[in-house]
Amino acid sequence: MLSPLQTGLSVGLGALAGAGLAAGGFAYAAMWPASEIFGWALKAPPRPGELALTFDDGPNPAWTPRLLDILNIHNVRATFFLVGKYAEAEPELTRRIAREGHLLGNHSWSHPNLAIKSAAKVDDELLRTCKTLQDITGQRIKYFRPPFGGRRPRVLRAALELDMTPVLWNAITTDWREPSADRIAERLMRRIDHLERLYWATNIVLHDGGHLKLGANREPSVQAAGQILAKYKHTHRFVTVDAWDPTVT
């Protein structure tokens, strides 16, 4: 028979273990891109041979124009998930992205982890960005990528209330801190080829901007995008994420 002390310790350890499991479960549901516990998000369909290049945290006056030049050389359209405050600061660059046929998406106003923000903050981050992008480009914004992938039911519901489809990914590296374009490209190419063997399309995340400051150095990411385009342009079809949206008829 357990003593009161042993019983208390057992109960306490059980509660801690339960809390740890609950915290781990929330983290997986909120942050892991493959999780659909809190709701569905567009990633990539079983369509091998298709690639979507998506870029986060711009527009970036230092590197987004160079990226746009590379995409134009290859005649490829990409998806840009823009930070609202940077779009407001760079309206002409934002217009250029739209004018050249790329798909614009909402990446929140200031790039917080929305999984842990209040409902009022979530609504403001999404609505303010939608309004700013629409005012600048005249286009309705239909797609939303949560910063860091962070979401919970309230975040996904806020996106749907604005008639936006949530978008995550199935191919990413730490390109925002990796100094080597070759390593970024190599890791993504391995992922693309792996998904291809599994008969999946690839939704690639790279960063043309940095959420901590406007004008972040993204030379390795931009060069890696060029390498991916050069390798796959004759064997694969590059698409924007709306090509995979099951709600688009």
Annotated active-site positions, please? 56, 207
Tokens standing for 206? 């790279």
Reference 201, options 54, 38, 31, 29; nearest CA is: 54
State the angle between helix axes of 119-137 and 91-99 in degrees (0 to 180), rounded to the nearest 10.
70
Distance between terminal CA atoms of the chain? 67
Question: Who contacts 28 (Cβ-Cβ below 8 Å, separation ≥6)?
Answer: 35, 37
Q: CA–CA separation, 171 vs 151, rounded Å?
A: 18
